[in-house]
Amino acid sequence: MSSIEQPPVKAKPFVDTDVLFSIRPELLNDSYIYIHGYVQPQTHEMLIRIWPSTFLVGRKAGERAQLIHAENITFAPVWTLVEQKQRYNFLLIFSALPKACRVFDLVEEIPQPGGFLIPNISRNDTDVYHVNFNA
């Protein structure tokens, strides 16, 4: 009778967060917030873009998370063309908000009319959100 050796089980390393916090507090807040955006033009082609001055703003204390990266959408002043009646997807990545922040707004602060506001986004455990930017 032959025996099959099982690979050794690797235990998940234990991290004492109190010690970690006392050494480098920023290590406890190293996650990102991901906003998957969707645009669906109803009739015509449209142009979209995102301004670097787009933030997540906590509803209670006004905390702000900065936009640090965008994929599949251009930064102003360059425009992205969305074809007629084609659903378009993009990704916005923001710095972290404090864990105590439970509701936030997605705010595009721009020096002209037309900036968007998506209010009252409820925080979830994954910090991944899907937002429809209706045309």
pLDDT band (50, 70, 90) for residue 27:
very low
Encoding tokens for residue 53?
Answer: 């001055």
Contact 67, 19 (CB under 8 A): no
Any residues with CB less than 8 A from the CB of 38 and at least 6 apart, and which?
A: 87, 88, 89, 130, 131, 132, 133
Do β-strands 117-122 and 88-94 pair in parallel, antiparallel, or remain unpaired? unpaired
pLDDT band (50, 70, 90) for residue 30:
low
pTM over 0.85: no
pLDDT band (50, 70, 90) for residue 2:
very low
CA distance 67 to 19: 30
**pLDDT tens string 111-131:** 888 888 999 999 999 999 999
